Chains A and B, each alone.
Chain A
């Protein structure tokens, strides 16, 4: 019964958050300067002509009527058509979502692959040579923003060395190798900042965990260093990192907008930029909603993972 109540409460929270996301998605676009009709109507158009354009786009209805119509349709994944390209918004989102997801998931995987072993080792040997070198490198890396790192990597690998393509995209259907050639730099660019953050958080927690009694006890029992580090110390040291991971996903959704713009990748971020420029509110609303839902779901998964990692949470339930 307690579990059901907890699940219902969490679900209720998620629904409220999603509803707030729909409000923001819809009314933010209403608030930005630059009216859609002003953009579309040819200079010198008469009032009647402007009214006809407005009617054809359904913009002559009240804002609340439009919001509830949009919300109703959005529940069945019908976001209408782009006022700019006339493409079905749901189609555009479905086409581009996998690209953004791949960049974010790839960046996350790379970040974890680098951050976990290095964070564990630096926590094991704080102040050692590796820890100091990593400290210097991560300090430098965290100081370079994504919008600068992307062009720098492009210059080195695409312009100077010419081992990777400059910009653009090839789908998986063009071959895995060809696809990955286009994805390497965007993923590395997005992963850089997150790797540093995860590494530092994990290192700090690792240092503290390795001073705990149960670790000293494990040492006295003669367990190997690797087993102590990865079998006993890593799990309790991961809570802060996992919390940061949830936040990281949000940052990556934002970061993907920048990365997709730099590398001209056909993802949701690039779609959002293009659509904002043309006040294509149908498209922007859908992108914000989908990004919001993704963020909420990922954070739900992060919350669920706490229970898996910490037996105390399971027993309290």
Chain B
């Protein structure tokens, strides 16, 4: 009974994993596998745009999607979502089971050890999750754990009680709660642990120069022998998309992680295959729904109708697809309302009505745009020009560096800002748009959306969950809570010597333990 329930809880994820496929929506051979027997040994170089911040398992190493692979390589991950079926399955842990969706049992594998030879057991999980719950750790999962309790029932069992039914709890254990570091090493090393991490994953950190490169070497104590196959993996940080593609072309890199369809097409034409998947919500504009004037749905709808997604994609992202719906169509969720298309007349009418209704003479909009990426800055300028076509709408562009922008977003001190609804599971909508969502920094609150998103947690019927996501997305679309403009793909594009490229399941990250090279 228990195991069946776990499988059901993972069924809704199958929706997300449908997004794995060719960039044209086909489901071609995406494994990057030559079909041969994995070869032991060899080294591989991967280039990506951002680095890990710190090797702290409680903060997922502070990594974005591109740094996730390195973090998982060192710490392993308690669970994984099967990239084929979408079902959650044990990885470093044996299983996570529940009969009611509220009381969960995490069972650890016997004999698994950290690289310092201490046991990877229930006490280690409790120690690490306690750190996450300590505000001083500043973990992003802090708010997700509110009301949740856990304790080690024995060496291999952690009993967990959630404040309410959540059949998607395994998703949290696959992402924010996934990484477990050695408690002994943390106690002994103190803060040095975060530059000399000790995990139980397939690789050990050998060298790290933040912002430049890191080198991981094979762990001889890894439990799932003969994996990993590689002797070492070097990750180099190159922020410029074109330079990373050149690194692949010149043979300096074996895998290029990137997000641009145009580069994908160019490299594909040159013979480089790719493993790709989609961001669940693509790239768009997040809007502050907590403050005037964008707290008024009519103003948000007007912005959506005047943004001009098609012209933005045509000018800035050649080869990319315009986001037609809030959730990427590759996820296979039916009944999704189309996003607002360009309708300048309709937008003007909404603004005029708003001004009549409120007695105001104009609408002032600030676009808060990061300068950390040239293309995002151009996007801001483009959006400013498009929105300024509306009469009585003043659009100001506020350019901010990444830290200042992040702080503004976190503090709900923004108005309209480019944002990617990244991640691979639609549960991100719960985080962002449920009124009690862990990352609801737009201040959006709508009982209809809350009810639908609550259902995605409380039901373990895949059909009900899919319908609930559709309902939530449709209200969000009509409300213009988020204006998607582009479907966003993550590509792992690789040369001929790379084999065994498989996505981890719940994230876009590639599994390090399965990679092997043919020399």
A binding-site residues for B, Cβ under 8 Å: 32-35, 38-45, 48-50, 52-53, 55-56, 81, 84-87, 92, 95, 154, 158-159, 162, 165-169, 264-266, 270-271, 273-274, 276-279
Contact A81 B191, beta carbon cutoff 8 Å: yes
Contact B53 A166, beta carbon cutoff 8 Å: no
Q: Which residues of A contact B53 (CB under 8 A)?
A: 84-85, 278
Among candidates B56, B140, B249, B405, residue contacting A42 with C-beta atoms closer than 8 Å: B140
Q: Which residues of B contact A158 (CB under 8 A)?
A: 246, 250
Contact B246 A85, beta carbon cutoff 8 Å: no
Task: Considering the complex, give the chain B residue whose CB is closest to the CB of A95.
Answer: B209
Asked if B33 lies at the interface with its beta carbon under 8 angstroms from chain A, I say no
Q: How many residues of B contact A (CB 8 A)?
A: 50
Contact A53 B138, beta carbon cutoff 8 Å: yes
Contact A154 B243, beta carbon cutoff 8 Å: yes
Contact B135 A278, beta carbon cutoff 8 Å: no
Contact B404 A85, beta carbon cutoff 8 Å: no
Q: Give 7 CB contacts A-B under 8 Å.
A: A38-B406, A42-B142, A43-B410, A87-B194, A162-B250, A168-B236, A279-B403
Q: Which residues of B contact A159 (CB under 8 A)?
A: 246, 249-250
Contact B211 A266, beta carbon cutoff 8 Å: yes
Q: How far is the CA of A50 from the CA of B410 in the complex (A)?
A: 12
B206-260 interface (Cβ within 8 A of A): 209-213, 236-238, 243, 246-247, 249-250, 252
Contact B213 A44, beta carbon cutoff 8 Å: no
Asked if B366 lies at the interface with its beta carbon under 8 angstroms from chain A, I say no
Contact A85 B195, beta carbon cutoff 8 Å: yes
Contact B54 A86, beta carbon cutoff 8 Å: yes
Q: How far is the CA of A169 from the CA of B210 in the complex (A)?
A: 13
Q: How far is the CA of A49 from the CA of B302 in the complex (A)?
A: 38
Q: Which residues of A contact B400 (CB under 8 A)?
A: 33-34
Most buried by A among B213, B252, B410, B437: B410
Task: Considering the complex, give the chain B residue whose CB is closest to the CB of A154.
Answer: B243
Asked if B334 lies at the interface with its beta carbon under 8 angstroms from chain A, I say no
Among candidates A32, A43, A162, A169, residue contacting B212 with C-beta atoms closer than 8 Å: A169
Knowing A159-B250, A274-B210, the reply to whether A41 touches B56 (Cβ < 8 A) is no
Knowing A35-B407, A53-B136, the reply to whether A44 touches B440 (Cβ < 8 A) is yes
Knowing A44-B440, A168-B236, the reply to whether A39 touches B194 (Cβ < 8 A) is no
Q: How far is the CB of B308 from chain A (nearest CB, A)?
A: 29
Among candidates A32, A38, A56, A169, residue contacting B410 with C-beta atoms closer than 8 Å: A38
Q: How far is the CB of B79 from chain A (nearest CB, A)?
A: 22
Q: How far is the CB of B181 from chain A (nearest CB, A)?
A: 13
Q: Which residues of B contact A266 (CB under 8 A)?
A: 209, 211-213
Asked if B439 lies at the interface with its beta carbon under 8 angstroms from chain A, I say yes
Q: Which residues of B contact A49 (CB under 8 A)?
A: 135, 142
Q: How far is the CA of A87 from the CA of B439 in the complex (A)?
A: 28
Q: How far is the CA of A38 from the CA of B413 in the complex (A)?
A: 11
Q: How far is the CB of A100 from chain B (nearest CB, A)?
A: 13
Contact B438 A43, beta carbon cutoff 8 Å: yes
